[in-house]
C-alpha cells in the first residue's frame, strides 16, 4: 500500500491515524502542497488525482482519493480493529459526525480556499482569519452539542474506542489551534481530543512526527 | 420515516432521489431555509440538528443528519435496490465520487457561505457569482476527468445502474444551471445527468416537483 500524503494535510492526517489504529503500514509518497508552486499540480500527481487533493491511497491497482472513502475501504478490506461500529444506527452516527467535519467544516478552511480569499478576493489576513475562525466556531459549536447530548458518546466520539469520527476530530483540532481559535467553549471535544492525543496511534500520525515536516 | 427537507436544498434532493430509487416512502417535514429568518434556526429544528443543516432523517427513534450518512443507512437497512456496489473497490469509488461533490464542491457554494460572502465580507453579486462558478469549474472539471478516464464509468457514474454518486451529481448539476455555469466542458457528466433526469425517480425528486416549492 502507498499513501500520498503531506505532513500538514489534515485529510492525510485522518488516514495516517486510521492506518495506525488498524496496525497497517503504508509506504508514504510525499506531495508538498506549496513547494514548486504546489506538487499536487505537477503532471505525476495530476495523472493520479485530477482533483489535486490529498490523500490518495494506492492498493493493489486501486487508486483511491478522499479520506473518508479510504478509511471505509480499509475498514472493509482489513476488518480487524474496526473504525465503524457493527450496528447500522451506530455506523450512521459515526459517518454523520465524520461528515460534519469533512463536508461542512474542513473544506471551507482548506488551503485552496484561503488562497482564493487572499488572492482573487484580495482579503486582508485579518478577514481571512475571521473567516477561518467563524467556520470553526460554527462547526465545533454544533459538534459539541451533538456529542454532549448523545448517550452514544463515550470516552471517544462514539463509545469507548476510537472510530472514524475521532480520526476526523483530532486533525480538525490541530488546525483550529494553528489558527489560534478559542476552543474553551468545547469541553467535551477537548476531553475526547486529549484522550486521543495520548494514544501513540494518534501521536505518531501528527504533522510534526512526519519525515516531510523537517 | 420522516425526512426534514427543503425543495431547494441540494443535500435533501440527494436523499429524495435515493428514497425514490429504493422505492421507499418518507413523510416530508418542510423546513424553509429563508422564511422567518430561516426555519432551520428555530427552536424545533435546532433541537433536532444543532448544525442547522438539511436534510435530517427520523427513523425508529434515530435522528440522522448528513445526506451521505442517510443514504448509506438506507442502503444498509433496506438493501433492496442497492445504491452502493457489492465489491469493496467499487464501493470505495462510489464513495469517493460522492465525496468529491459533497465534501469538496457543494459546501463551498452552500447558502450560508454565500450569505457570509455578501454579508460579512460585503462582496458584490459579481464576485459572489465568480466564486460560485470557480468552485463548480474546479470540481466538475476534475470529476469529468475521473469519469471519462475510468473503465468503471458506465451509463451512470459507476456501471449501468444509478448509485449514490448519481444521487449527488444531479442536484449539483441543478445548482450549476441555476447559477448559469458553463457546463459545455463536461460532456460525460452531462450525458450521465441526462440519463438520470430521464428517470421518474430523479424527476420526482427535483425541487420544482416538491409541494413546498409552490
What is the reported pLDDT for B163? 98
Three-state secondary structure string covering chain A: CEEEECCCCHHHHHHHHHHHHCCCCCEEEECCCCHHHCHHHCHHHHHHCCCCCCCEEEECCEEEECHHHHHHHHHHHCCCCCCCCCCHHHHHHHHHHHHHHHCCCHHHHCHHHHHHHHCCCCCCHHHHHHHHHHHHHHHHHHHHHHHHHCCCECCCCCECCCCHHHHHHHHHHHHHHHCCCCCCCCHHHHHHHHHHHCCHHHHCCCHHHCHHHC
pLDDT band at B214 (very low <50, low <70, confident <90, very high): confident
CB contact under 8 A, A66 and B99: yes
State the fold for domain B2-81: Glutaredoxin (3.40.30)
What does the pLDDT look like over B8-52, one tens digit per residue? 999 999 999 999 999 999 999 999 988 888 888 889 999 999 999
What does the pLDDT look like over A70-115, one tens digit per residue? 999 999 999 999 999 999 999 999 999 999 999 999 999 999 999 9
What is the reported pLDDT for B159? 98
Name A187's Cβ contacts closer than 8 Å, sequence gap at least 6.
A144
- CA A201, B68, B21, B159 torsion-angle sign: negative
- The residue ranking higher by pLDDT, B90 or A40, is B90
The structural domains of chain B, with segments of one domain joined by +, span 2-81, 88-201
* CATH class given for the domain over B88-201: mainly alpha
Query: Cα–Cα distance between A168 and A14 in angstroms, integer?
Result: 6
- CA B19, B20, B23, B27 torsion-angle sign: positive
A127 at interface of B, judged by CB pairs closer than 8 A: yes
What is the reported pLDDT for A53? 93
B121 at interface of A, judged by CB pairs closer than 8 A: yes
A81 at interface of B, judged by CB pairs closer than 8 A: no
What is the reported pLDDT for B34? 85
What is the reported pLDDT for A162? 98
B65 has pLDDT over 90: yes
Residue B62 with chain A: CB contacts under 8 Å: 89, 92
What is the reported pLDDT for A25? 96
What is the reported pLDDT for B87? 97
CB contact under 8 A, A62 and B89: yes
What is the reported pLDDT for A35? 86
Write down the mean pLDDT value for chain A.
96
Nearest residue, CB atoms, B77 vs list A66, A88, A146:
A88
What does the pLDDT look like over B92-133, one tens digit per residue? 999 999 999 999 999 999 999 999 999 999 999 999 999 999
Mean pLDDT across the stretch A27-49? 90
What is the reported pLDDT for B33? 87
- How many inter-chain contacts (A to B, CB under 8 Å) are there? 126
Mutant choice from A65, A122, A131, A158 vs B, greatest count of B C-beta within 10 A: A65
A99 at interface of B, judged by CB pairs closer than 8 A: yes
Mutant choice from A15, A59, A62, A66 vs B, greatest count of B C-beta within 10 A: A66
* CATH class given for the domain over A88-199: mainly alpha
Closest-CA distance of chain A to residue B134, Å: 10
Which grid cell is B74?
Answer: 438506507
State the fold for domain A2-81+202-213: Glutaredoxin (3.40.30)
Least confident range from A36-40, A208-212, B128-132: namely A36-40
A33 has pLDDT over 90: no
Query: Cα–Cα distance between A81 and A68 in angstroms, integer?
Result: 16
Residue A112 with chain B: CB contacts under 8 Å: 138
What is the reported pLDDT for A15? 98
Amino acid at each position: 500500500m502507498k499513501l500520498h500524503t503531506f505532513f500538514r494535510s489534515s485529510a492525510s492526517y485522518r488516514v495516517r491515524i486510521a492506518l495506525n489504529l488498524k496496525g497497517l503500514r503504508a509506504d508514504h509518497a510525499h506531495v508538498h502542497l506549496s513547494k514548486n508552486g504546489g506538487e499536487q499540480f505537477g503532471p505525476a500527481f495530476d495523472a493520479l488525482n485530477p482533483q489535486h487533493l490529498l490523500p490518495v491511497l494506492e492498493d493493489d491497482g486501486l487508486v483511491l482519493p478522499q479520506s473518508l472513502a479510504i478509511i471505509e475501504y480499509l475498514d472493509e478490506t482489513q476488518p480487524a480493529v474496526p473504525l465503524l461500529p457493527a450496528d447500522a444506527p451506530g455506523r450512521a452516527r459515526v459517518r454523520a459526525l465524520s461528515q460534519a467535519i469533512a463536508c461542512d467544516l474542513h473544506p471551507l478552511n482548506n488551503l485552496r480556499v484561503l488562497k482564493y480569499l487572499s488572492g482573487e478576493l484580495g482579503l486582508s489576513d485579518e478577514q481571512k482569519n475571521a473567516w477561518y475562525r467563524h467556520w470553526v466556531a460554527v462547526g465545533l459549536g454544533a459538534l459539541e452539542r451533538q456529542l454532549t447530548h448523545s448517550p452514544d458518546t463515550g470516552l471517544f466520539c462514539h463509545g469507548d474506542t476510537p472510530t472514524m469520527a475521532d480520526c476526523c476530530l483530532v486533525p480538525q483540532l490541530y488546525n483550529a489551534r494553528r489558527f489560534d481559535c478559542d476552543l474553551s467553549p468545547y469541553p467535551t471535544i477537548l476531553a475526547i481530543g486529549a484522550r486521543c492525543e495520548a494514544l501513540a496511534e494518534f501521536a505518531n500520525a501528527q504533522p510534526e512526527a512526519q519525515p516531510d515536516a523537517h
